[in-house]
Amino acid sequence: MKQTLIAATVLVAVTGAAVLPTAAEAKIRCDGPWQIVQGNKISTPYCGDNYLAQVARGYGSNVSARAIRENPSTKREICQWIGHDPKVQDICAGLRNDDGGRGGRN
């Protein structure tokens, strides 16, 4: 481990560039419900859950994205409450009682 650290330090000193990504570079970037990957927007559960929590907070909830990601019941409850909102209908598909037979309970 010490040799690796020394080698990386020498490489940075010689090239003037860091080899390892910074925390900001390694962080997942979302634009609403979309994840930005190499400049493209793709649908991912991570960003969808973040966006669902954001929209729910706009309705007065204090739910966190982490709570939605870690507890399917919490996600279902939030979708039952605000899943009618066009901003989150795709995220909540299959999690509402009135979802037109797309997997929700009747």
Domain count, the chain: 1
Q: Would you say residue 5 lies in a domain?
A: no
pTM for the whole thing?
Answer: 0.69
Q: Would you say residue 61 lies in a domain?
A: yes
Q: Would you say residue 95 lies in a domain?
A: no
Q: Would you say residue 42 lies in a domain?
A: yes
Q: Domain range holding 67?
A: 28-82
Q: Would you say residue 55 lies in a domain?
A: yes
Residue with tokens 């729910």: 56
CA distance 30 to 41: 8
Beta bridge partners of 43: 34
pLDDT in tens, 1-29: 444 444 444 444 444 555 555 565 569 99
pLDDT in tens, 69-94: 999 999 999 999 999 999 999 999 99
Q: Would you say residue 18 lies in a domain?
A: no
Query: 3-state class of 34 per DSSP?
Result: strand
Query: 3-state class of 88 per DSSP?
Result: coil
